[in-house]
Amino acid sequence: MPDLLRTIGGNLARVRSSIAEAAGRAGRRADTIKLVGVTKYVGPEVVRALVAAGLADLAESRPQQLWDKAAALADLPICWHQVGHLQRNKVRRTLPLVAMVESVDSVRLAAAIDQVASELGCRVPVLLEVNISGEAAKHGFAPSEIEGVLAAVAELRHMEVRGLMGMAGLAGDLEDARRQFATLRALRDRLRPVCPNGITLEELSMGMSDDFEVAIEEGATLVRIGSALFEGVL
């Protein structure tokens, strides 16, 4: 399907150049920002076009959809990220499929991930999800909880806390999003020097299709982009 590939390739090039421009405005190198494509809106054939166009870091928000896509696309070298709420009873089936869980939103989930990872004999990179908008419908720890959570998960040897993830609120404009992203970065910068051993907090996953440029200006190292990659095919 040459048209599909051309459309997706054009979208990917546009997103990558916007990432590079935002990085430039912030005096950052574009290669310090990883683009993760969120494929929840599309089927496996469109994901194939995205991989063919050159993006292999992909994410799903629902574990069941991640399982289905990973199975349908098992022949491709995709690094999957789980970016939405992960129920504890879905950890066992999800962990073998993913390179990172970006949405650890409770200490009980962290403990379940650690348990399964120890059985699998692996160490799973994770991010702690922080509810930076304060919206009740959002998952994630309150910013004030994170220091205690880091202490609580410090002994979990099969889980590696790489950083923090946050989503801007649905209500609010770009400047509200910018303030929320700046809050996440400030939290990370404050906790980094006092982190327990083995926790580095180098990653800040923030920014989606509508707000990734301000997220990059505020320090994002991972941006999770869905709709902007699929314009013209949705």
Per CB under 6 A, residues contacting ligand PLP are: 38, 40, 61, 83-84, 167, 208-210, 224-228
Nearer to ligand PLP, 48 or 224 (CB): 224
Closer to ligand PLP by Cβ: residue 51 or 228: 228
Q: Is the Cβ–Cβ distance between 80 and 60 less than 8 Å? A: yes
Closest CA to 198 of 114, 80, 129: 114
Q: For ligand PLP, which is the closer residue by CB, 7 or 61?
A: 61
Q: Pick from 105, 77, 82: which is nearest to 92 by CA? A: 82
Minimal distance, residue 110 CB to ligand PLP, in Å? 18
- Of residues 59, 52, 40, the one with CA closest to residue 1: 52
Pairing of strands 79-82, 34-38: unpaired
Q: Which two tokens stand for residue 199?
A: 């926790």
SS3 state at 94: helix
Residue 205 Cβ vs ligand PLP, minimum distance, rounded to whole Å: 8
CB of 165 to ligand PLP, least distance (A): 8
Q: How far is the CB of 25 from ligand PLP (least distance, A)?
A: 20
Q: How far is the CB of 193 from ligand PLP (least distance, A)?
A: 28
User: Do the Cβ atoms of 205 and 221 come closer than 8 Å?
Assistant: yes
CB-nearer residue toward ligand PLP: 84 or 219: 84
Residue nearest ligand PLP (C-beta atom)? 226
Nearer to ligand PLP, 183 or 209 (CB): 209
Q: What is the CA radius of gyration of the chain?
A: 17
* Cα angle value 119/123/128 (rounded, 5°): 115
3-state SS string over 143-204?
HHHHHHHHHHHCCCCCEEEEEEEECCCCCCCHHHHHHHHHHHHHHHHHHHHHCCCCCCCCEE
In the complex, the smallest distance separating the C-beta of residue 116 from ligand PLP, rounded to whole angstroms, is 22
The residue among 18 and 227 lying less far from ligand PLP, judged by its C-beta, is 227
